[in-house]
């Protein structure tokens, strides 16, 4: 790894070797955050002290092969699918011009607000054997008509790709937006056909952003439980849940989970290694890069394609939710909904700000310290995203309850007073848990924006006497505005949708919309869950629309 010029200067100023210098404030900060994330993961890894051989042996004899194949299929398929959808849509709306482009560019983000399990449920409801589409087709063409089996690997991959593509779309779009048509023209002037140019230049240039989005997708796909269980598609995650809820073995579940974390860590490191020292800082900031104006039939093809994806991934499911909601509105709606909504919004808002702020600090720390240690700590800080929510929730809860018990015992023994658990069931702990879980979403968004700030900008600013926080506030913040907004939106929406951590760590009475959805779906009352799901969807739209207005300004 080649240090940046800024670092080289810093290192020589401080001493001959980075390893013998006192860690800076930035490194301390990174260390603390990494430690926070590592705590639940360590708790889970400690389960290996008592390996659940019996369950492992059973898995190995029966399910393991299928689990691995299914999980690999899911991860490869969904990552591939989201790349295909996300990159193509991002390039069309980011670098091209065609009818409806302006509205589509933000509308295509809307599926972000749709929880994966809701999309899955609605999607299967519409397109499975029992759904209206296949029923209608059977009534027209007879029972013998062949139709693809929706509840299959292909079906899961399709639905999850539709649900998760916005992660890739959102990050890649920023990259294509600044790329404009110049890169492609340069390639063409060097003898590439537009298609060749796309693969040799346009894509590789957007790689850190695309990779950032794909990493989020990969982690989501690995951690997903809702969608795969509705499909009854056995993956690593379903095995984790089976070990815990079926075999009553939390250690086995924790052991399986820690493998998942290890896998993700390896993938992240591999991706970073492949990137090596390529830097993607643009030589100039050209936010208004010229778009490629699509001509003739291509314009309508692009327009139609975008609309089709929007229709399947968002409009149809949203309409279905709306229909169900209207059916049950009178029976279900009461003043409590406002309370649920309020809780959801408040939690999402606070954690979005908190996580974006921490992500910013982390990303900045990584910029100041490109050394192995800091980079490793930063990568560690994002691992919480890869764990199935419920498992992470337990990993957080166990040390927390332990700490609380210590405090209570201390108070009893030394102060002679009985007290209630201090930490558990507080909002602060909930926020901390969200931080551990969603650090990756905030960090990827901000860090990929940070890539665009050239080191010469740092140097120029430092010459003018700006350092540390001031440099961050005066120079970087304005330049990172887009990335910060993206981070806020992603985290906001993610927290709104989050279920297991909310269930486990919320204070008494602090129910949210997703808790309500859990209540209803746990006994299979999906139609009744439409109302909270729709409310959740609508409130998730607010930041997305704000985000898009922001990025249109840029």
Partner 1 sequence: MNQIRLFALLLVMTLLLTSAGLAFADELVVYSARNEQLIKPLFDAYTEKTGTKITYVTDKAGPLLQRLKSEGKNTRADLLITVDAGNLWHAAEEGVLRAVDSPALGANVPDHLKDPNNRWFGLSLRARTIVYSTERVTPEELSSYEALGEPQWENRLLLRTSKKVYNQSLVAMLIAEHGKEKAEQIVRAWVGNLAAAPFSNDTKTMEAILAGQGDVAIVNTYYFGRMLKKDPNLKLALYWPNQGSTGVHVNVSGAGVTKHAKNPDAAVKLLEWLSSEEAQNLFADGNMEYPVNPRVEAHEYVKAWGDFKASGQNLASAGMLQKAAIKLMDRSDYR
Partner 2 sequence: MEPLLELQQISQAYGPQLVVKDLSLSLKKGEIGCLLGASGCGKTTVLRTIAGFEPLLQGEIRLNGTVVSRAGFSLPPAKRQIGMVFQDYALFPHLSIFDNVAFGLRKLDKTELIRRVNQALELVGLQTELNKYPHEISGGQQQRVALARALAPEPQLLLMDEPFSNLDVTLRERLSMEVRDILKEFGTTALFVTHNQNEAFAVADRIGVMHSGEILQWDSAHNLYHQPVSPRIAEFVGEGALINGVVKNAGQLETGLGLLEGIIKRPLEVGSPVQLLVRPEDVVHDDASPVKAVVVRRSFRGASILYALRLANGDLVQALVPSHCDHQPGEKIGIQPDVRHLVLFPADA
Contact between 118 and partner 1 per CB under 8 A: no
Q: Rule CB under 8 A: say whether 192 interacts with partner 2.
A: yes
Site size toward partner 1, by CB under 8 A = 72
Between residue 329 and residue 358, which ones bind partner 1 under the rule CB under 8 A?
Answer: 346, 350, 353-354, 357
Q: Does 286 bind partner 2 (CB under 8 A)?
A: yes
C-alpha angle 13/18/20, rounded to 5°? 100
Binding span for partner 1 by CB under 8 A among 98-106, 243-251, 261-269, 437-445: 243-251
Output DSSP code: residue 420: -
Quote the least distance from Cβ 490 to partner 1, whole Å.
19
Footprint (CB under 8 A) of partner 1, residues 355-384: 357
Q: Quick one: 139 exposed, middle or buried, by C-beta within 10 A (0-12, 13-18, 19+)?
A: exposed
Interface region with partner 1, contact rule CB under 8 A, candidates 11-19, 275-283, 419-427, 434-442: 419-427
State the nearest-atom distance from the C-beta of 11 to partner 2, in Å. 17
Residue 153, interface with partner 1 (CB under 8 A)?
no
> Is the Cβ–Cβ distance between 108 and 169 less than 8 Å?
yes
Contacts by 100-106, CB closer than 8 A, 24 or more apart: 100/303, 100/306, 100/307, 101/302, 101/303, 102/552, 104/303, 104/306, 104/307, 104/310, 105/173, 105/548, 105/552, 106/544, 106/545, 106/547, 106/548, 106/549, 106/552
Q: Which residues pair with 97 in a beta bridge?
A: 293
CB of 125 to partner 1, least distance (A): 9
Query: What's the angle, vertex CA 30, arms to CA 24 and CA 35, rounded to 5?
Result: 125
291 binds, among partner 2, partner 1, none (CB under 5 to 8 A by kind): none
**Residue 520 interacts with, from partner 2, partner 1, none (CB under 5-8 Å by kind):** partner 1
Among 74, 90, 175, 201, the residue binding partner 2 under the rule CB under 8 A is 201
Q: Could you say which residues in the range 449-478 bind partner 2, by CB under 8 A?
A: 454-455
Burial class (CB in 10 A: 0-12, 13-18, 19+), 406: exposed
Number of residues that bind partner 2 (CB under 8 A): 29
* 238 contact choice in partner 2, partner 1, none (CB below 5 to 8 Å, kind-dependent): partner 1
Residue in this structure with the two tokens 């997703």, named with its chain if needed: 514
- Token output for 295: 């001509």
Q: Could you say which of 426, 457, 466, 550 contacts partner 1 (CB under 8 A)?
A: 426
Cβ closest to partner 2, residue 133 vs residue 190: 190
How many CB atoms are closer than 10 A to CB 440? 28
The yes or no reply on residue 282 touching partner 2 (CB under 8 A) is: yes
Q: Which two tokens stand for residue 334?
A: 């009461």
- Which of partner 1, partner 2, none sits in contact with 143, Cβ below 5 to 8 A by type? partner 1
Q: Does 17 bind partner 2 (CB under 8 A)?
A: no
Instruction: Please say which residue, 428 or 463, places its beta carbon nearer to partner 1.
Output: 428
- The one among 58, 138, 151, 200 contacting partner 2 by CB under 8 A: 200
188 binds partner 2 (CB under 8 A): yes
C-alpha of 355 from chain center: 13
**How far, rounded to the nearest angstrom, does the alpha carbon of residue 265 sit from its chain's CA centroid?**
15
Site string for partner 1, 200-229 (x = CB under 8 A): -----------------------------x
CB of 398 to partner 1, least distance (A): 5
- Asked if 421 touches partner 1 (CB under 8 A), the answer is yes
* CA-CA-CA-CA dihedral for 400, 383, 118, 434, to nearest 10: 40
- Sequence-distant (≥ 6) Cβ neighbours of residue 220 within 8 angstroms: 116, 164, 167, 385
Give the residue with the Cβ less far from partner 1, 239 or 321.
239
The binder of 99, among partner 1, partner 2, none, by C-beta within 5 to 8 A per type, is: none
Report how far apart, in Å, the C-alpha atoms of 173 and of each of 106, 152, 193, 322 are.
11, 31, 22, 30
Taking CB under 8 A as the criterion, the residue among 6, 192, 303, 408 binding partner 1 is 408
By beta-carbon proximity to partner 1, the closer residue of 288 and 405 is: 405
Cα–Cα dist 393/380, whole Å: 17
- Could you say whether residue 187 binds partner 2 (CB under 8 A)? yes
Which pair of tokens denotes residue 121? 């449920």
Please state, in angstroms and rounded to a whole number, the distance separating the CA atoms of residues 135 and 331.
29
First to last CA, the chain: 33
279 binds partner 2 (CB under 8 A): yes
As measured in angstroms, the least distance from the Cβ of 286 to partner 2 is 7
Asked if 390 touches partner 1 (CB under 8 A), the answer is: yes
Smallest distance, partner 1 to C-beta of residue 375, A: 25
Minimum separation from the CB atom of position 209 to partner 2 (A): 12
Minimum CB distance to partner 1, residue 452 (Å):
21
Phi/psi for 96 (5° steps) reads -115, 170
397 forms part of the interface with partner 1 (CB under 8 A):
yes
CA 506 to chain centre: 22
Q: Which residues bind partner 2 (CB under 8 A)?
A: 182-183, 185-194, 196, 200-201, 204-205, 207, 277-284, 286, 454-455
């Amino acid at each position: 790894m080649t240090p940046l010029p800024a670092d080289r200067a810093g290192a020589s100023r401080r001493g001959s070797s980075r390893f013998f210098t006192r860690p800076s404030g930035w490194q301390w900060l990174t260390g603390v955050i990494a430690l926070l994330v590592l705590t639940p993961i360590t708790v889970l890894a400690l389960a290996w002290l008592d390996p659940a051989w019996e369950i492992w042996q059973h898995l190995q004899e029966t399910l393991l092969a299928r689990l691995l194949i299914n999980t690999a299929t899911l991860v490869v398929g969904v990552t591939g699918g989201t790349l295909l959808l996300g990159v193509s849509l991002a390039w069309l709306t980011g670098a091209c011009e065609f009818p409806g482009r302006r509205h589509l560019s933000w509308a295509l983000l809307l599926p972000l607000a749709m929880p994966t399990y809701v999309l899955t449920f609605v999607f299967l409801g519409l397109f499975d054997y029992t759904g209206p589409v296949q029923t209608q087709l059977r009534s027209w063409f007879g029972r013998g008509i062949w139709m693809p089996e929706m509840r299959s690997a292909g079906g899961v991959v399709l639905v999850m790709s539709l649900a998760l593509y916005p992660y890739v779309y959102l990050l890649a779009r920023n990259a294509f937006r600044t790329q404009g048509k110049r890169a492609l023209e340069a390639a063409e002037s060097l003898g590439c056909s537009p298609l060749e140019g796309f693969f040799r230049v346009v894509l590789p240039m957007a790689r850190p952003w695309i990779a950032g989005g794909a990493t989020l997708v990969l982690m989501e796909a690995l951690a997903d439980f809702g969608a795969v269980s509705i499909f009854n598609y056995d993956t690593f995650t379903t095995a984790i849940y089976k070990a815990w809820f079926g075999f009553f073995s939390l250690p086995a579940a924790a052991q399986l989970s820690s493998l998942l974390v290890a896998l993700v860590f390896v993938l992240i490191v591999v991706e970073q290694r492949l990137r090596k020292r390529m830097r993607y800082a643009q030589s100039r900031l050209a936010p208004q890069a010229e778009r490629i104006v699509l001509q003739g039939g291509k314009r309508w093809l692009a327009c139609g394609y975008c609309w089709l994806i929007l229709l399947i991934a968002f409009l149809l499911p949203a309409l279905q939710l709306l229909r169900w909601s209207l059916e049950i509105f009178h029976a279900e709606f009461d003043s409590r909904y406002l309370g649920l909504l309020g809780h959801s919004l408040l939690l999402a808002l606070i954690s979005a700000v908190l996580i974006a702020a921490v992500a910013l600090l982390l990303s900045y720390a990584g910029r100041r310290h490109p050394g192995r240690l800091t980079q490793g700590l930063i990568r560690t800080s994002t691992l919480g995203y890869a764990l199935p929510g419920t498992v992470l929730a337990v990993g957080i809860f166990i040390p927390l309850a332990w700490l609380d018990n210590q405090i209570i015992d201390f108070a009893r023994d030394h102060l002679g007073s009985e007290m209630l658990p201090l930490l558990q069931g507080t909002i602060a702990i909930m926020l901390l848990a969200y931080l551990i879980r969603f650090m990756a979403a905030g960090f990827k968004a901000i860090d990929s924006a940070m890539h665009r700030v050239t080191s010469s900008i740092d140097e120029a600013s430092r010459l003018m006497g700006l350092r540390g926080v001031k440099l961050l506030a005066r120079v970087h913040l304005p330049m990172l505005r887009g990335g910060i907004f993206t981070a806020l939106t992603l985290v906001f929406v993610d927290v709104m949708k989050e279920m297991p951590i909310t269930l486990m760590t919320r204070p008494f009475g602090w129910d949210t919309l997703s808790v309500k959805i859990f209540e209803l779906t746990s006994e299979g009352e999906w139609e009744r869950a439409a109302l909270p799901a729709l409310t959740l969807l609508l409130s998730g739209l607010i930041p997305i629309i704000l985000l898009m207005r922001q990025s249109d300004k840029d």
